[in-house]
Amino acid sequence: MNVPEIFGSLVFNDKTMQKALKPETYKAFKAVAENGGTLSKACADEIACAMKTWAVERGATHYTHWFQPMTGITAEKHDSFIAPDENAAGGAIMQFSGKQLIQGEPDASSFPSGGLRSTFEARGYTAWDTSGCAFIKDGTLCIPTAFISYGGQVLDKKTPLLRSMSALKSRVLRFLTLIGKSAKSIGITAGVEQEYFLIDKKLFDKRKDLISCGRTLLGARPVKGQELEDHYFGTIRPRVLAYMQELDAELWKLGILAKTRHNEAAPAQHELAPIHTEVSTAADHNQLTMEFMKKVADRHGLACLLHEKPFAGVNGSGKHNNWSLTADGENLLEPGKNPENNLPFLLLLAAVLRAADEHQDLLRLCTATAGNDHRLGSGEAPPAILSVYLGSELTDILENMCAGKCYQRKKAERIVLGNATPVPEFLQDTADRNRTSPLAFTGNKFEFRMLGASVNVAEPNVMLNAAVADALEYICARLEKEGADETSVKKLIAELYTRHKRIVFNGNNYSADWIEEANRRGLLNLAATPDALPYGTNEKNAALMERLGVYSLRELESRREILTENYCKVISIEALTLLSMTVKEVLPASFYYQNELCTVIEQKAELDVSAEAEKALLKKIAALSDKAYKRKIALEKALEKAKCEKSLHAASKAFYGVAFTYMHNLRECCDALETLVSKKHWPFPTYSELLFSV
C-alpha cells in the first residue's frame, strides 16, 4: 500500500482546490474561510463546479450536506448531481451550483431542538462550513455544514464549536499582543484517542441488549477477565489486525491521520489515536472514525462497540481529547528547556488552572451521559471530580514562584540498565505521567480524559475553549491594568496559582482518599448526569456563554432539555430491554432447567439413588427465579413512576434510580442464575464467549 498516494485521495482539500480554481477565486474563498463574509455567486458557482467535477471523476453520483445534529451522530440527505439536459431532449447532465453548495434546507422539525422549533415549523438550514474539507463517502460528495433553525438558533454541535474557537482565538491574540508577541494565525488543536471493543458479529446478533442498547445488561463475570493484564499492548490477533489495517486505509483516504493502534486493558478492547489537527477538523474526523469503525467491523464479521461500559467487571471505553494552542504553527503550551523562565507559557498554564477551577461544572457536564455514568470513578477512569495534573517539575516551579524563591532545576537522571546490556543509556523525563487524571498536562498539551467513547468531541471542546477564553479575558484585563513587565507577570502567575491550586492534584485520582480530599478542598463532585446537567443554564454559565457569543440562554436551555430527555430515554430503553430479556429468555431458561432437574430427581427416586445435589441446585435456582421475578415487578413499578414525573429534572433523577438500583438488583439475580443454569439452556452468549471469541 502506497500510503502517501492514497492519503487524502477522497478529500477536496486545500491543495486540490487551489489547483482547480482560478487564483482570484481561490483567494476570495480563503478570505471568507479565514475572516467570514460572503462569496460572490460567480465564485460559489466556480467552486461548486470544481467540486462536482472532482467528485464525479472519482465515482460520486450524489452530494449531501453533512452535519452533526443533537442526536450525537451525523446526518445526511443525498441529492444526485443529475439535471435535465436542455440541449438534448430526454438527456441528462451532472450539475451542481454555488447555491446548492452554500445552503441546504433539511426538515428541522424532525431533529431534537429542545423546544426551539415546533413540529409544524419544518424549515431549517444547513450552511457550508468553509473550514472543513468536502470528501467522498460511499459514492457521495459530503460537504461539512452547520445546522441552524429558521430563526438562526443552533440545532447542531458544530456551530457552537466554531463560535467557541472564534472567541478563544481572539483572546489568545489579545494575550500575545499584551506580552509583546505577534501572530498572524491562532490554532486550537486536538488529537482524539478512541477506545472501542470488537466482538464476533454472530454473537452480537444473539444479544438483544447489545443490539438495542450497545451494552450488556446481563452477564456474569468470566473466570478470566483482565486480571492478568496480558491484553494491554499485547500481540494483536490476526483477525483484529486485518480489521485495523483496513480501517487505517479507509481513514487515510479521508485525510484522517490515524497514527497509533494497540490492544487496550480489557479483553477485546482496542484503541486508535490520530495525529493532532485543528479542533473542528478533529471533531469531524472523530465522527467519521466512529462511523468507519462500525462499517469496517461489519465487513470482517465483527461488531464494534463504542458504548462507555459494554461489559461489567472490565474496563469501559473513553476517548482522550489532547488539546493545545498554537500561534503561527508554534505550540504555545511547549514549556521549552527552561520552563521556569518561560513566563508566557507559565501564564497560559495559570490560565488553564483558572479555567478548570472556575468552570469545573462546565467541564463535568460536557462529559455527562447515561453511558459515562457507568464508567467514571469505577477504578478505570477518572472520577466525576475535575482536577488537573501538572507533574512535579511544573508544580515545583509554581510553588517556588509563589514563595518568591528561585527554582533549582534538578539534573535529569540518566537511566542505565547495566553495563552488560545492549540497551543504550537515556535521560529520564523531568515528570511522570498520570493516567488517572481528568485533565492532565502531558508535556505540551492538556489531555482531557473524562470523555466517554461515544460522545461527539465538539461539546467538550466548546467548554474547554470557553473556559480558557474566559480565563484569558481576565488575565488580559489585569495585564492592561497592571502592565506586562516581568515583575507584574510573575506576580499574576503566583496569584492565579495560589487562588486556584486546589484544582491541582498529582496523585491517584482512583483512590477513595482523593474523593475525601477533594471534598475538603471544596471541589464539585457531580457523580451522576442528573446532578451535572442543570449547571449548564445557571446564571454564571449563561452569562459566560452569551458574553463569548457561544450560546444564547435559549440555546442553553434547549440543550439541557435535549440532553435530559435523551438521558431518560436511554435508561427507559435499557430498562424495557432488560425486562424483556428477563421475562422471555432468562426466566424461561431457568424454568426449563428446573423442569429437567425435577425429572432427574424423580428418576433417581425410582431407582432409590441419592439426588441431594440436584435438590440443592433446584432449590437455589427456584429461589433466585422467585427473587428475579419480584425484582422484575419492582423495576416495572419504578419505571412507570419515573415516566410519570412532572419535571424533566425529577424524571432524570428517578431514571438514575431505575438504572443504578432497580436494574442493578434484577441483574444481580439474573447473573447468579447464569452461573447455575446449564449452558444448554442459557439463551445468549456469555462474557467468556463475547470477550475471547475474536
**Mean pLDDT, range 245-273, rounded to an integer:** 97
Place of cell 419505571: 639
Contacting residues for 417 by C-beta, under 8 A, at least 6 apart? 423
Beta bridge partners of 389: 440
Q: Average the pLDDT over 292-320 and give the result.
A: 97
Residues 6+ apart with CB under 8 A from 424: none
What pLDDT is stored for residue 149 in this prediction?
85
Average pLDDT value for residue range 567-574 = 98
Does pLDDT of 417 surpass 80? no
Which of these, 319, 318, 321, 315, lies nearest to 379 by C-alpha position?
Answer: 315
pLDDT at 92 over 90: no
Sequence-distant (≥ 6) Cβ neighbours of residue 303 within 8 angstroms: 198, 199, 200, 201, 204, 210, 294, 297
pLDDT over 70 at 429, yes or no:
no
Under 8 Å between Cβ of 524 and 429: no
CA end-to-end span of the chain = 25
β-partners of residue 326 are: 187, 331
State how far the Cα of 159 lies from the Cα of 153, in Å rounded to an integer: 10
Handedness of CA 160, 162, 163, 169 (dihedral sign): positive
Please, what is the Cα angle at 23 between 20 and 25, to 5 degrees? 80
In whole angstroms, give the CA distance from residue 494 to residue 402.
Answer: 5
Q: Helices (H) and strands (E) in the chain — how many of each?
A: 24, 21
What's the rounded mean pLDDT across residues 597-614?
A: 94
Per-residue model confidence (pLDDT) at position 529: 96
pLDDT value, residue 99: 95
In which region does residue 138 sit, left (phi positive, over 0), alpha (psi from -120 to 50) or beta (all else)? left
> Which among 171, 187, 185, 145 is positioned nearest to 548, based on CA atoms?
171
Across-strand partners of 325? 188
Q: Provide long-range contacts, Cβ within 8 A and 24+ apart, for 328-333.
A: 328/183, 328/184, 328/185, 329/187, 331/444, 331/445, 332/172, 333/441, 333/444, 333/445, 333/446
Query: What integer is the mean pLDDT of 662-667?
Result: 98
Pairing of strands 82-84, 92-94: antiparallel
Is 344's pLDDT higher than 70?
yes
At residue 152, the pLDDT reads 83
Alpha-carbon distance of 97 to 81, in angstroms, equals 10
> How many residues does the structure list for the chain?
694
313 CB neighbour count, 10 Å cutoff: 15
What is the H or E stretch that residue 247 is in? Answer: helix 238-253
Which pLDDT band holds residue 433 (cuts at 50, 70, 90)?
low
- Residue 81 reports pLDDT greater than 70: yes
Q: Is the pLDDT of residue 116 over 80?
A: no
Q: Which residues, 6 or more positions from 462, have their beta carbon under 8 angstroms from its beta carbon?
A: 160, 161, 163, 164, 366, 550
How does 255-293 read in b/e, with b if 16+ C-beta sit within 10 Å?
bbbbeebebbbbbbbbbbbbebbbbbbbbbbbbbbbebb
Instruction: Using the predicted structure, report yes or no on whether residue 86 has a pLDDT greater than 70.
Output: yes
From residue 2, how far is each of 5, 7, 9, 261 by CA, in Å? 5, 9, 12, 19
Query: Across residues 294-306, what is the average pLDDT?
Result: 98
Report the distance separating Cα 321 and Cα 462, nearest Å: 12
